[in-house]
């Protein structure tokens, strides 16, 4: 297995082709490294600029002095081989080739890329790319890439064969307050292949979930083995681009002969314990769920809802995805009977019939999650229900009936109550080692998807946007949990 | 066909059970009517309150004087029959029964509901509910319902058998700036049935798209006929709750014997030209697309993208949903050749290889949409790409390199350019009568989904959040367009 630790944890970074030409790669990368909180040394290298963003630029790699742990190349393809020879000469071992103009650009590029591959292998260089948008380690503040995102630290590491897809996933993670650990765009994979990154993330202590966007796998067997090794310890979530003949053609990384192989690929991946997803947004939410919640140990689901229609939609989704909704055991029914109005549903889903009482929410959730009859609980419409109440107060205020409390204070109080409730969910997940899936009544546009309790807990609460999203995550987490058990591992 | 016009366009509204008890129905409904901009007369009716929100309350319906066009009942089930008799006596013909405690609440409730049904039929009353959250007409400012949403006016009318589902869809519409026309929660459908609302919306000039959430249909044949009549003129989007045995049980509106009938129901609906969807969010986005864009006349799709990976994902999605990506005709290729760097993809998807130039965006889109080879164009990653550029400028500013322009001015300028570009999309859709589907690079949390050009145009631009969402809408709009053609209608 290749040692990629200095690639992701470099003490120093050099950027060749560094410039201040804002929209060019040579500026985008170095401004991101300098602005992103990286604590190590940063060396701009440029033949044409004396200084770059206030740093003196070296004329060449030799000028830097001690060899940089990581070198990022942004100069044209034709310069790359010469630079790699300088790396060997100066002792640089980890290189990210951002430059394009290789196998994606015709016959000469392909020949050029073979040269890079052979040189890297012969000289033991770790080469990322070419034609990649870069690399990042959010814990280290290392942003050696195109995307100027600033993410919270978390356990999710991403490998993407497309820079665009990687870019979008990271922007979404930022928007939703989903923490990440590392990113690498593998580009054309001249030397380091997707299975190398998978193996590395497998062994990386800062990574708890691995997500991958793949268009093509050159060495299926070797990738499959890496996947099987990894999923015994960490969940792997995979989105495959180029699933169809047309998609494959668009990927341009394969011939038409590969059409139809996606079914075989997906089946092999599922066999290896990999969670396959259909979209980027599903990939991210599932990864956050893996990173934040305990796994369900079985498929018996309890549903608690603030109103009827949602329970129906959720019951449908569960049934369609192989989850069951067992009836309420007598003891749970009795416990809920003491809390709820006489006309409550008396079945699973448990309908709180519109009673907007935070204590009731907490106690009914605990009544369900503590029962041996259920492996997980889905919670519908309670989160953000107070926003609805605020609308009522605002309307009556405008109608000339002042509320006892200042509306801003009231909103803050209700918001605090909700945060306590979400903290409670994290507590209950830890207490019973079972997952709870709260679905917002209406997701607020500016609301983080991941709720981290004020004092850090073993688990975080995830706020799901739709019942479909919650059930889909739950079903895939259950599938992975079952896989682990079959492998003799404890979920 | 029943005349429901006064139900949705009343000149005056009375609310029985009106109060100032903020969290009770009698307050929620009247505060919403009073605060919501309704221009007609509003009459609180209450036996216990002298005034409600500053309005003198009538003691009974007879006290009001002239009969209200619409009466909303919020008092307990036991009072309802007496009130209906008063309606007949005082000439009130349109009634919304919000009160619960009918067929959803056991045998006595069922008996009570039969009584309501028979009385309504015998006396020609239009009765909505019981057990409904109300009715709304956004154009008229009429908010006779639980949800205190304030929506833009648009062509979408919603009928939901679940108040919760209706509530959530309307909040989403508000959040996404999607305009709506009308809402009705049909509740237990004691008298007015889902097909009655469908027929009414069909004939309603302010409605251009109908969306429905149904759990059960009592009279399948009559609903099917109403659907077939309607879809010849207007798209109908339907989400069915209770699709599975468990979901059906949760819906409690049917016996277990109905399990499996959903396949038959769905097939029948598709035959009747109804667009079936799987989730609430899909329902709303598809409705907005129907309301804002021309229908695709065929399934030949052109894709324009700012980078590679997305094109692959989109090509896959298209292929999986029966859409094709024909190769570029020579004339289009020649036209694009004059605009793009030499190393562009020269195929469909057209990859703009990261050139962030608004003129290029517009011209390449027009090159595609104007070609006879394509029925629709999907546009990936261009919308909001300027936000990425802003990050670069911000970083270089922080690194001590001032940009020539104030950053706020720059953001405003780029934002204006994007709005002009979206206006252009609306223009191009009108010019070529073909739909264009822009997918945001990263959807901004606070960004409206519907972009209405500054000077109102025939069409609006919709900003899709993911390629999957755009392709799914496109495929369903194409299916409907094909249905219309088969019916001898012009799409």
Phi and psi at A65, nearest 5°, equal: 100, -120
Cβ–Cβ under 8 Å, residues A182 and A157: yes
pLDDT tens by residue, A250-270: 664 333 333 346 778 888 999
* Cross-chain CB nearest to B446 (options A165, A171, A445): A445
Residue percentage of chain B with pLDDT more than 90: 73
Q: Return the DSSP state at A324.
A: B
* Chain B contact set for A147 (CB, 8 A): 388
Report CA-CA distances (Å) from B95 to A392, B20, B86, B190. 23, 22, 12, 12
Using the beta-carbon criterion (under 8 Å), do B396 and A22 form an inter-chain contact?
Answer: yes
* Chain B contact set for A391 (CB, 8 A): 148-149
Q: What local confidence, expressed as pLDDT, does residue A408 receive?
A: 87
**Taking the CB of residue A67, how many other CB atoms lie within 10 A of it?**
17
Beta strands in A76-234, from DSSP E residues, in sequence order: 94-97, 126-128, 134-137, 142-145, 153-160, 180-185, 209-214
Binning pLDDT at 50, 70 and 90, where does residue B254 land? very low
Q: What local confidence, expressed as pLDDT, does residue B263 receive?
A: 77
Provide the phi-psi class of A191: left if phi over 0, else alpha when psi is between -120 and 50, else beta. Answer: alpha
Q: Return the DSSP state at B136.
A: E
Distance of alpha carbon B413 from alpha carbon B420, whole angstroms = 11
Q: What local confidence, expressed as pLDDT, does residue B450 receive?
A: 93
Using the beta-carbon criterion (under 8 Å), do B246 and A324 form an inter-chain contact?
Answer: yes
pLDDT tens by residue, B66-91: 999 999 999 999 999 999 999 999 99
Binning pLDDT at 50, 70 and 90, where does residue A245 land? low
Distance of alpha carbon A112 from alpha carbon A115, whole angstroms = 5
Distance of alpha carbon B18 from alpha carbon B43, whole angstroms = 9
- Whether B395 has a pLDDT exceeding 80, the answer reads yes
Using the beta-carbon criterion (under 8 Å), do A250 and B215 form an inter-chain contact?
Answer: no
By CA distance, what is B385's nearest residue in A? Answer: A168
By CA distance, what is A250's nearest residue in B? Answer: B312
Cβ–Cβ under 8 Å, residues B304 and B380: yes
- Average pLDDT over every residue of B208-221: 92
- Whether B255 has a pLDDT exceeding 60, the answer reads no
Q: What local confidence, expressed as pLDDT, does residue B248 receive?
A: 62
Q: Is the bond leading into B368 cis (omega within 30 degrees of zero)? A: no
Distance of alpha carbon B355 from alpha carbon B341, whole angstroms = 9
Residue percentage of chain A with pLDDT more than 90: 73
- For chain A, the straight-line distance linking the first and the last C-alpha, in angstroms and rounded, comes to 26
Q: What local confidence, expressed as pLDDT, does residue B247 receive?
A: 63
- Whether A404 has a pLDDT exceeding 80, the answer reads no
By CA distance, what is B175's nearest residue in A? Answer: A445
Cβ–Cβ under 8 Å, residues A303 and A348: yes
* Cross-chain CB nearest to A242 (options B20, B213, B316): B316
Phi and psi at B208, nearest 5°, equal: -110, -20
By CA distance, what is A161's nearest residue in B? Answer: B309
By CA distance, what is B169's nearest residue in A? Answer: A442
List the single range of A430-444, B345-359, B436-450 with lowest mean pLDDT.
B345-359
* Chain B contact set for A395 (CB, 8 A): 31-32, 34-35, 148
Number of A to B CB contacts under 8 A, please give it. 229
Task: State the nearest Cα–Cα gap between A106 and chain B, in angstroms.
Answer: 9
* Cross-chain CB nearest to B250 (options A249, A349, A401): A349
Q: Round the CA-based radius of gyration of chain A to a whole number and report it.
A: 26
Q: Name the pairing type of β-strands A70-73 and B70-73.
A: unpaired
Using the beta-carbon criterion (under 8 Å), do B244 and A31 form an inter-chain contact?
Answer: no
Using the beta-carbon criterion (under 8 Å), do A309 and B446 form an inter-chain contact?
Answer: no
Q: What local confidence, expressed as pLDDT, does residue B264 receive?
A: 82
Using the beta-carbon criterion (under 8 Å), do B244 and A148 form an inter-chain contact?
Answer: no
Q: What local confidence, expressed as pLDDT, does residue A254 receive?
A: 33
* Chain B contact set for A172 (CB, 8 A): 442
Q: What local confidence, expressed as pLDDT, does residue B256 receive?
A: 31
By CA distance, what is B239's nearest residue in A? Answer: A313
List the single range of A16-25, A53-62, A139-148, B355-364 with lowest mean pLDDT.
B355-364
The H or E element spanning position A237 is strand A236-240
Task: State the nearest Cα–Cα gap between A89 and chain B, in angstroms.
Answer: 32
Binning pLDDT at 50, 70 and 90, where does residue B251 land? low
* Chain B contact set for A247 (CB, 8 A): 312-313, 315-316, 319
Task: State the nearest Cα–Cα gap between B489 and chain A, in angstroms.
Answer: 32
By CA distance, what is A241's nearest residue in B? Answer: B313
Using the beta-carbon criterion (under 8 Å), do A215 and B312 form an inter-chain contact?
Answer: yes
Using the beta-carbon criterion (under 8 Å), do B318 and A242 form an inter-chain contact?
Answer: no
* Cross-chain CB nearest to B162 (options A101, A309, A398): A309
Interface test with chain B among A308, A342, A400, by most B beta carbons within 10 Å: A308
* Chain A contact set for B105 (CB, 8 A): 343
* Cross-chain CB nearest to B168 (options A324, A395, A441): A441
pLDDT tens by residue, A5-17: 999 999 999 999 9
Residue percentage of chain A with pLDDT more than 70: 95
> Mean pLDDT of all residues in chain B?
91
Task: State the nearest Cα–Cα gap between A325 and chain B, in angstroms.
Answer: 7
Q: What local confidence, expressed as pLDDT, does residue A459 receive?
A: 97
* Cross-chain CB nearest to A319 (options B244, B315, B325): B244
- Whether B308 has a pLDDT exceeding 80, the answer reads no
Q: What local confidence, expressed as pLDDT, does residue B388 receive?
A: 86
Using the beta-carbon criterion (under 8 Å), do A315 and B446 form an inter-chain contact?
Answer: no
Using the beta-carbon criterion (under 8 Å), do B392 and A324 form an inter-chain contact?
Answer: no
By CA distance, what is A109's nearest residue in B? Answer: B343
By CA distance, what is A29's nearest residue in B? Answer: B392
Give the ipTM. 0.88
Q: Is the bond leading into A130 cis (omega within 30 degrees of zero)? A: yes
* Chain B contact set for A347 (CB, 8 A): 250
Binning pLDDT at 50, 70 and 90, where does residue B252 land? very low
> Mean pLDDT of all residues in chain A?
91
Bridge partners of residue A134, in order along the sequence: A145
The H or E element spanning position A365 is helix A358-369
- Average pLDDT over every residue of B277-306: 95
Cβ–Cβ under 8 Å, residues B102 and B116: yes
pLDDT tens by residue, A215-235: 888 888 899 999 999 999 999
pLDDT tens by residue, A457-475: 999 999 999 899 999 999 9
Task: State the nearest Cα–Cα gap between A122 and chain B, in angstroms.
Answer: 31
Binning pLDDT at 50, 70 and 90, where does residue A57 land? very high
Using the beta-carbon criterion (under 8 Å), do A309 and B281 form an inter-chain contact?
Answer: no
Distance of alpha carbon B491 from alpha carbon B475, whole angstroms = 14
pLDDT tens by residue, A194-216: 999 999 999 999 999 999 999 88
Using the beta-carbon criterion (under 8 Å), do A313 and B391 form an inter-chain contact?
Answer: no
Q: Is the bond leading into B349 cis (omega within 30 degrees of zero)? A: yes
Using the beta-carbon criterion (under 8 Å), do B309 and A441 form an inter-chain contact?
Answer: no
Q: Round the CA-based radius of gyration of chain B to a whole number and report it.
A: 26
* Chain A contact set for B35 (CB, 8 A): 395, 398-399
- Average pLDDT over every residue of A107-111: 92
Binning pLDDT at 50, 70 and 90, where does residue B485 land? very high
Tell which wins on pLDDT, B256 or A138: A138
Tell which wins on pLDDT, B194 or B445: B194
Interface test with chain A among B253, B312, B446, by most A beta carbons within 10 Å: B312
Using the beta-carbon criterion (under 8 Å), do A244 and B319 form an inter-chain contact?
Answer: yes
Task: State the nearest Cα–Cα gap between B250 and chain A, in angstroms.
Answer: 5
Task: State the nearest Cα–Cα gap between B129 and chain A, in angstroms.
Answer: 15
What token pair was written down for B155? 């062509």
Using the beta-carbon criterion (under 8 Å), do A23 and B392 form an inter-chain contact?
Answer: yes
Q: What local confidence, expressed as pLDDT, does residue B259 receive?
A: 37
What token pair was written down for B263? 């396949």
List the single range of A6-15, A303-312, A330-339, B449-458 with lowest mean pLDDT.
A303-312
* Chain B contact set for A404 (CB, 8 A): none
- Whether B197 has a pLDDT exceeding 80, the answer reads yes
* Chain B contact set for A165 (CB, 8 A): 309-310, 313
């Amino acid at each position: 297995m290749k040692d990629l630790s200095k690639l992701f944890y470099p003490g120093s970074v050099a950027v060749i082709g560094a410039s201040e030409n804002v929209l060019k790669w040579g500026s985008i990368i170095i401004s991101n490294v300098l602005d992103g909180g990286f604590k190590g040394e940063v060396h701009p290298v440029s033949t044409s600029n004396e200084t770059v963003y206030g740093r003196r630029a070296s004329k060449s790699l030799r000028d830097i002095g001690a060899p940089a742990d990581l070198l990022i190349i942004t100069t044209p393809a034709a310069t790359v081989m010469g630079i790699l020879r300088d790396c060997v000469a100066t002792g640089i071992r980890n290189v990210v080739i951002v430059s394009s103009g290789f196998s994606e650009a015709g016959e000469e590029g392909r020949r050029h890329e073979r040269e890079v591959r052979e040189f890297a292998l012969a000289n033991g260089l770790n080469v990322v790319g070419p034609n990649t948008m870069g690399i990042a380690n959010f814990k280290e503040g290392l942003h050696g890439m195109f995307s100027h995102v600033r993410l919270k630290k978390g356990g999710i590491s991403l490998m993407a064969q497309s820079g665009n897809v990687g870019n979008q996933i990271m922007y979404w993670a930022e928007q939703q307050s989903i923490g990440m650990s590392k990113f690498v765009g593998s580009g054309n994979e001249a030397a380091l292949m997707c299975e190398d990154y998978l193996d590395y993330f497998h062994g990386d202590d800062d990574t708890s979930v691995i997500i991958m966007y793949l268009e093509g796998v050159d060495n299926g067997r070797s990738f499959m083995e890496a996947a099987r090794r990894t999923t015994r310890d960490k969940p792997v979530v995979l989105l495959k681009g180029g699933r169809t003949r047309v998609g494959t053609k668009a990927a341009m990384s394969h011939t038409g002969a590969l059409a139809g192989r996606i079914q075989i690929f997906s089946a092999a991946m599922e066999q290896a314990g990999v969670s396959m997803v259909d979209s980027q947004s599903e990939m991210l939410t599932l990864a956050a769920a893996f990173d934040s919640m305990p796994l369900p140990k079985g498929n018996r689901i309890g549903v608690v809802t603030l109103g009827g229609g949602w329970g129906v939609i959720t019951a449908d989704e569960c049934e369609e995805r192989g989850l069951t909704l067992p009836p309420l055991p007598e003891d749970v029914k009795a416990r809920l009977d003491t809390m709820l109005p006489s006309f409550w549903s008396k079945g699973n889903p448990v309908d709180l019939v519109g009673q907007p009482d935070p204590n009731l929410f907490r106690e009914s959730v605990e009544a369900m999650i503590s029962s041996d009859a259920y492996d997980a609980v889905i919670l519908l419409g309670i989160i953000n229900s107070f926003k609805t109440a605020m609308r009522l107060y605002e309307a009556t205020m405008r109608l000339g009936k002042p509320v006892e409390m200042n509306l801003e204070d009231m909103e803050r109080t209700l918001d605090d109550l909700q945060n306590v409730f979400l903290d409670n969910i994290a507590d209950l997940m830890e207490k019973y080692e079972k997952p709870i899936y709260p679905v917002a009544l209406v997701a607020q546009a500016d609301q983080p998807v991941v709720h981290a309790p004020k004092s850090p807990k073993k688990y975080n609460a995830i706020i799901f946007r739709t019942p479909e999203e919650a059930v889909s995550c739950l079903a895939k987490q259950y599938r992975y949990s079952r896989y682990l058990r079959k492998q003799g591992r404890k979920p």
